[in-house]
């Protein structure tokens, strides 16, 4: 029995290494898409970020009402934010870092359930000094990637750590950058009991190989 388990573990390790080697050879998002297709993921419509686009309507109580049809429930999978400097109005990676560092240092007033005011930092992903020149962020969600992308495209400073691309603190700067979100959902016929672990594994390999500018494992 122990020998059998050892053999199974070896196969899993070999699979992860094989996926990693395939990603090493990928020269761009087209090749990445083909690799993910072979791993059981379906390519969904890309979302090109536009600061002038009205993705949602902010209600009085603070909850966003999403208007963009692209954010309807989609299914579990992985997503990759890509940044194209050649289309980013002369902006550089250094410019982006300065903007993000300034954002990370800002604090906001938050009122707890007892009515007490506290100063808190905006929850955003960390900047990685040793990172890619083209991939901004890599993420996943076990059941619906769009539920996570709403946080990335939203502006709630008190929510879970996310890009918050429409946040008031960067709205005058972020529009200068060409950012595209590529979405990939795991096929429905993948075994339910293994979906969450498989998606998390693929995200981990993507993060390790693509070395995104933002976010840590």
Percentage of the chain beyond pLDDT 70 is: 93
pLDDT of residue 214: 97
Confidence of residue 3 (pLDDT cuts 50, 70, 90): low
pLDDT of residue 158: 67
pLDDT of residue 211: 95
Task: Map tokens 């122990």 to a residue.
Answer: 2
List pLDDT tens digits, range 54-81: 898 877 666 778 888 899 999 999 999 9
Quick check: helix, strand or coil at residue 68? coil
Q: Flag whether pLDDT at 92 surpasses 80.
A: yes
What does the alpha-carbon distance between residue 49 and residue 191 come to, in Å, rounded to a whole number?
33
pLDDT of residue 101: 94
What does the alpha-carbon distance between residue 4 and residue 20 come to, in Å, rounded to a whole number?
25
What does the alpha-carbon distance between residue 212 and residue 32 come to, in Å, rounded to a whole number?
14
Mean pLDDT of the chain: 88
Burial class (CB in 10 A: 0-12, 13-18, 19+), 131: middle
What does the alpha-carbon distance between residue 202 and residue 103 come to, in Å, rounded to a whole number?
30
pLDDT of residue 15: 82
Strands 56-58 and 117-121: unpaired
Both structure tokens of 142? 């076990």
pLDDT of residue 159: 67
pLDDT of residue 200: 95
Q: Flag whether pLDDT at 1 surpasses 50.
A: no
């Amino acid at each position: 029995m122990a020998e059998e388990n050892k053999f199974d573990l070896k196969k899993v390790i070999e699979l992860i290494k094989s996926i990693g080697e395939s990603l090493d050879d990928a020269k761009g998002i087209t090749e990445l898409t083909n690799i993910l297709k072979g791993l059981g993921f379906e390519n969904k419509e890309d979302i090109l970020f536009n600061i002038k686009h009205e993705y949602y309507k902010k209600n009085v109580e603070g909850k966003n009402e999403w208007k963009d049809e692209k954010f309807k429930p989609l299914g579990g999978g992985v997503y990759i934010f890509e940044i194209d400097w050649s289309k980013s109005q002369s902006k550089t990676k250094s410019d982006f870092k300065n903007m993000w560092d300034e954002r990370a240092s800002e604090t906001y007033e938050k009122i707890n359930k007892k009515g007490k005011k506290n100063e808190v930092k905006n929850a955003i992903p960390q900047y990685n000094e040793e990172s890619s020149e083209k991939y901004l962020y890599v993420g996943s969600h076990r059941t619906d990637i769009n539920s996570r992308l709403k946080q990335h495209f939203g502006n709630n400073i008190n929510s879970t750590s996310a890009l918050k691309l429409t946040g008031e603190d960067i709205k005058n700067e972020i529009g200068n950058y060409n950012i595209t979100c590529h979405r990939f959902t795991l096929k429905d016929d993948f075994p339910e009991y293994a979906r969450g672990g498989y998606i998390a594994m693929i995200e981990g390999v993507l993060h390790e190989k693509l070395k995104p500018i933002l976010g840590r494992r």
